[in-house]
Homo-oligomer: A and B are copies of this chain.
Amino acid sequence: MEQDEAEMTEAQEAARHASARTARASALMQDYVELIDDLLSSTGEARPTDIARRLGVSHATAIKTIARLKREGLAHSKPYRGVFLTAAGHALANEVRARHRVVVDVLKALGVPPEVAEIDAEGIEHHVSDATLAAFEKFLGRS
């Protein structure tokens, strides 16, 4: 019994870490999709160079990651023609942006300075599950 419980806890902890690893792995994809969506709606085009500059990486890195986005069906592009999102990519962008906004708002509501809230939200948002997001929304609604 005790052993069963101990193993259960251990398995749960392993699952927690696995979950965090998965979130870390998809965080970059989400950042790219969100940024591409921003660029498309604000300037009409998303060029690798702009993406790279906004993310603070070299354009070579951006191009490689964009290739991965394409492989995963989130974006498409033709050489020298800018990047566009697929329906899946666009949907993901919307989800991510909504989550981002809620996280920033919650942080600010808790007294975190706005600039700091923006910075921290960038990392936090990728680890906020649906259940937590729902709680955040409820909290904001009645605060």
Contacts and interface: CB of A to CB of B under 8 A. Distances in A.
A27 to B, nearest CB: 7
Interface in A37-68: 53-56
A94 interface: no
B129 A116 contact: yes
A87 interface: no
Contacts of A122: 16-17, 19-20, 127
A126 interface: yes
B14 A123 contact: no
A95 interface: no
Given A13-B54, A14-B55, A128 B124 contact: yes
Interface string A17-37: 111100110010001000000
A23 to B, nearest CB: 5
A24 B117 CA distance: 17
Tell me if A's interface is mostly helix, strand, loop or mixed.
helix
Given A110-B135, A132-B116, A17 B127 contact: no
Interface string A90-130: 00000000000000001100111100111110111011110
B118 A132 contact: no
A1 interface: no
Contact of A56 (B14, B56, B111): B14
A8 interface: no
